[in-house]
Structure 1
Amino acid sequence: MKTNNLLTAFQNDWVSLLTSIVLIGVLYYLARKRINFGYRVLIALGLGLLAGIFFNKGHHDATSVTTIGTIYVDLIKMIVIPLVAASIITSITSLTNVGQLRKLGLKTVGLFLGTTGIAAIIGLLVALLFDPGSGIHQAVPADFQAREVPTVSQVILDLVPTNPISDMAEGNVVPVIVFALFFAVAIVKLSSKKPETVAPVKQFVESFKEIMFQVTKYVVRLTPYGVYALIANMAAKYGWDTLEPLIMLIIATYVALILHFVLTFGGLVSFAAKVNPLKFVRKAYPTIAVAFTTRSSYVTLPVNLEVITKRLRVSPRIASFVAPLGATINMNGCGGVWPAVVSIFVARVYGIDLHLSDYILIVAAAIIASVGVAGVPGPASISTTVVLTTLGLPLEGLGMVLAIDAVVDMGRTAINATGTTVSALVVANSEGEFDREAFDRNEEDPLELNIA
């Protein structure tokens, strides 16, 4: 009897394994045919959902699929600490002329981080209202240990590094970021006094960052396969009903993004820049459209520079500083709204209670992580990983939301790019470098929107 049971289990596992090999082969074929990455992720979502329902209906063991998903999650964990540390150091040390640009830099970075914090608060409130994790109940991983609920003072103390090497080894992301901030500021300070001393360090960190970017690209390329495995595993456990809470997660995310667009951006444009928000949206539409369709802040950057200078009539000096910095640091959608919504989702799915101190930590971690993932490929996943790790939530929950990443990434990127445009307008207005008369006269140069 035991032999028959083992044989049956072996056969059931092989059904899921062979099915997965075929479907992963299909995804690989699409990659070889250079099908758009976002489309491949959506296809992986569909294939994983169908395969999982098939496994669920046929009572097939999905252990092999679970293994593939676990490997993908582990690879994400692997890159977080070195990637974030290198990115935050280089993002700060790139401001070589700190003396001249201190005032401009403080305004710009302050706007980026402030609006990201507001975005995280809006995402948090919307997620608590919509409760997108209801309907899914996952068992907490065997190696997961629940944290004691810390006091607010303890939350602040936990942000301060005591031993950065130990923090790196233990995966404590936020203390590593704080140490990186001190390290970067020290480099900038010494660069003006002893440039020859810090030059080798700057070159090493820059080279290390580029290497980590390449490693990250390798991991990001595996996303369709990881999405397939993770959603198939979840669907195999819960069947068709699994999709419902994911749809609610999409809705909650877009509601939060729209609220941030209307309330935060609309408020800044109306009251800080004293510009009609409807006129701003009409002029900034090319940036919003290109960001939404390409899902890339870097691809949108040339268009955004044109929009800021030729349609919004901001001076080239402000535009050339704010726009490139915004493409790297401004993460209202990817680093603000999304990690907050996902944190509530994951906590709900795994039945982990969050408290006021946790909510404060979500916002603080989102703000800090938005700088730490500056310019990183796939910043939303990395910043969400940082926030989940900081909260002590199971990273396996990230695999569930990666299945719908392509769907929400369009809105997230549009919010990121629009936030940069808004910040450029507000900073230019405060510096007296916004040509309001030309803006009001509707003088606009045509834009070349053909993106390769």
Structure 2
Amino acid sequence: MAVFYGVLVSVAVVLGVFYLIKIKIKLGIQILITMAIGILAGILLEDSTIVFSTIGQGFVGLLKMLVIPLVFFTLISSIINIQDIFQLRKIGLKTFTLFIVTAIIASIIGILTALAVSPWQGIKLSSVSDFEIREIPSFSEVFLNFIPSNPFGNMVNDEVIPIVIFSILIGVSILLSKQHDQNAIQPVEAFFRGFSQALFQLTKMVIKLSPIGVFALMANVSSSYGIETLLPLSLLILTVYIACIIHIIFTYGSLIGVIAKVNPFGFFYRAFPAMAVAFSTRSSYGTLPVSINVITQRLKVSKKIANFVAPLGATINMDACGGIYPAIVAVFVSNIYGIELTFVHYALIVLTATIASVGTAGVPGTASIMATVVLSSAGLPVEGLALVLAVDPILDMARTTVNVTGDLVVSLIVGKSEGEWDQGAYEDN
């Protein structure tokens, strides 16, 4: 009977979404409505998890279908649209610098928030002997995994970082080839531009289903995690969410207001669809199609910038997964185990967390590896990570939202600095 009610509610939501589309309700409002309905449905229909999970994973599957083609074709398309190597280097330097600066700020916010809230209060250290430590790959292993030795194999295995590198190399090669024989390379350029355009149309079709996917994913989360799981670590959850909100409002809001000279509230309103999908899917890569669509259609940044910054950001811009979260976990674990941290410890945590934030792959769960790296570098018990894993999916929702928001912020700032932002269209949107 519970499954029947789950199906009934899901069908009602699908019909409701199509009605909202018919009367031209904006996508952000649609997602906000279905997100609230999903949370309520999950609480009331706990035994309908299989229904919500199936629909939600189906939506995630459609997003994943787009990821590899988008990364490959849009990155190459953006590079050949840049026209010259100097401009590519300038855009890349601006993008990477912003990612590093926000990562440093993120790790500092994580430490200060943890010290202010004290999320370890009321938690007793229990046995964690059954905790299996996540293996930290060696530097050589990480380096070799980045090399696209078999690009088609990387595509099949959804290994995004090698594809990003391969796409950049192909794009640069096309730019260099144009200098020698522009006529010979024009058909290649036309192919990548045409395929990118087709992918954008497919992306728009999938994004229209976002309200349904968000409903199902939120219903699944709220029905899967009861109060008994969340209550003991409620202070830790609160700490992570406070730090993420502070980073979004003050760090990103300041960058948007001061550097881009744009009203932050208007920006966040336009960015909301991507933030909501990031919150529900918990994957920067999975949100990539929505991010590119939001950057071009709602923020009015050119495809040239969007197709370059967004895939790169989904790969290396992890302010929350590599910055905020490992810093909070380090402070949390040190206090649980009664280990006093010195200024050197905090400096080491910031440094390691910053490095981790640009090396975390944008998929659910890998923040645990980055937390392991930070704990190890600070000389803290890695086993303490077991204390927080029960609520990791809840924390990952906030972390991914921060990561994706950062990609949107950097895209707008870089777009404006390069004259690739249509301010008039943005204000009219």
TM-score by length of 2: 0.59
Within 5 Å, give how 1:84-99 maps onto structure 2: 99=85
- Whether the aligned pair in 2 keeps the contact of 1:140 and 1:350 (CA below 8 Å) is no
SS at match of 1:404: helix
CA contact under 8 A between 2:282 and 2:400: conserved in structure 1?
A: yes
CA distance in 1, matches of 2:126, 2:155: 36
Give the one of 305, 322, 325 matched to 1:318.
305
Which amino acid in 2 is paired with 1:439? Answer: Y
CA deviation profile, 1:173-228 (whole Å, cap 9, x unmatched): 7xx559967x89xx9xxxxxxxxxxxxx64069968987969xxxxxxxxxxxxxx
Structure-1 residue corresponding to 2:98: 111
Q: Structure 1's 409 and 108: CA in aligned 2 closer, same or farther, altered over 3 A?
A: same
CA deviation after TM superposition for structure 1 residue 262, in Å:
0.9
Structure 1 position 141, deviation (Å): 8.0
Amino acid in the other structure paired with 2:335: R
CA radius of gyration, larger in: 1
Amino acid corresponding to residue 411 of structure 2 in structure 1: A
Q: What is the Cα deviation at residue 34 of structure 1?
A: 8.1
Q: Which residue is 2:3 aligned to? A: none
Q: Distance in 2 between matches of 1:353 and 1:206?
A: 49
Change (3 A) 1:321 1:388: same
Question: CA distance change for structure 1 residues 437 and 243 in 2, over 3 Å: closer, same or farther?
Answer: closer
- Which aligned segments of 4 or more residues in structure 1 are displaced greater than 4 angstroms? 32-35, 94-100, 139-142, 176-181, 204-214, 242-245
Equivalent of 2:276, from 266, 289, 304? Answer: 289
- Determine if the alignment matches structure 1 residue 412 to structure 2 residue 399: yes
Q: Which amino acid aligns with 1:305?
A: I
2:149 corresponding residue in structure 1:
203
Instruction: Report the Cα offset of residue 244 of structure 1.
Output: 5.4
Q: Residue by residue, what CA displacement relative to the aligned partner does 1:422-452 show, whole Å, maximum 9, x if unpaired? A: 0000111111111112212x2x4xxxxxxxx
1:33 offset after TM fit, Å? 5.5
Distance 2:395 2:269 in 1: 23
Selected match of 1:385 from 367, 372, 391: 372
Paired residues for 1:35-434 under 5 Å: 36=53, 99-100=85-86, 101-138=88-125, 177=139, 202-203=148-149, 246-434=233-421
Question: How many angstroms apart in 2 are the aligned matches of 1:302 and 1:274?
Answer: 26
1:373 is displaced (CA, Å) by: 2.1
Aligned to 2:191: none
**Contact 2:114/2:328, CA 8 A, preserved across alignment:** yes
Flag the 1:376–1:244 CA change in 2: closer, same or farther, 3 A.
closer
User: Percent same amino acid among aligned pairs?
Assistant: 47
**Distance (whole Å) between structure 2 residues aligned to residue 348 and residue 178 of structure 1:** 33
Query: Structure 1 counterpart of 2:416, which letter?
Result: N
Counterparts in 2 of 1:376 and 1:438: CA distance versus 1, 3 Å: closer
Normalising by structure 1, we get a TM-score of 0.57
Report SS of the residue matched to 1:434: coil
* Distance verdict in 2 for CA 1:289–1:353, change over 3 Å: same
Distance 1:35 1:355 in 2: 47
Give the secondary-structure state (helix, strand or coil) at the position aligned to 2:262. Answer: coil
- Aligned CA-pair RMSD: 3.9
Query: How far did residue 301 of structure 1 move?
Result: 1.2
Provide structure 2 residue ranges, at least 5 long, that are not aligned to the other structure.
1-46, 58-74, 130-134, 161-224
2:53 partner letter = N
Contact in 1 for aligned 2:305/2:414 (Cα 8 Å): yes
Aligned length, in residue pairs: 294
Cα 1:321/1:373, change in 2 over 3 Å? same
Contact 2:320-2:357 within 8 A present in 1 as well:
no
Post-superposition offset of 1:125: 0.1
CA deviations 1:364-392 (Å, max 9, x no partner) are 11111122223455221121121112222
**Counterparts of 1:206 and 1:389 in 2: how far apart (Å)?**
35
Amino acid at match of 2:323: G
Distance 1:35 1:395 in 2: 35
Deviation digits for residues 122-181 of structure 1 (CA, Å, limit 9, x no counterpart): 011000111111223437989xxxxxxxxxxxxxxxxxxxxxxxxxxxx887xx559967
What is the distance in 2 between the residues matched to 1:205 and 1:321? 19
Partners of 1:288 and 1:417 within 8 A in 2: yes
Contact 2:282 2:363 in 1 (8 A): no
Matched-pair contact (CA < 8 Å) for 2:100–2:354: yes
Distance 1:385 1:209 in 2: 28
Deviates more, 1:281-290 or 1:123-132: 281-290
Cα deviation per residue 1:238-270 (whole Å; 9 max; x = unaligned)?
xx8x96551110111111111111110100000
8 Å contact kept, 1:177–1:368:
no
8 Å Cα contact 2:318-2:362 kept in structure 1? no
Q: Aligned letter for 1:203?
A: S
**CA deviations over 1:246-301 (Å, ceiling 9, x no partner):** 11101111111111111101000001101011111111111111111222212211
- Gap runs ≥5 in structure 1: 1-29, 41-93, 143-170, 188-200, 215-230, 232-239, 445-452
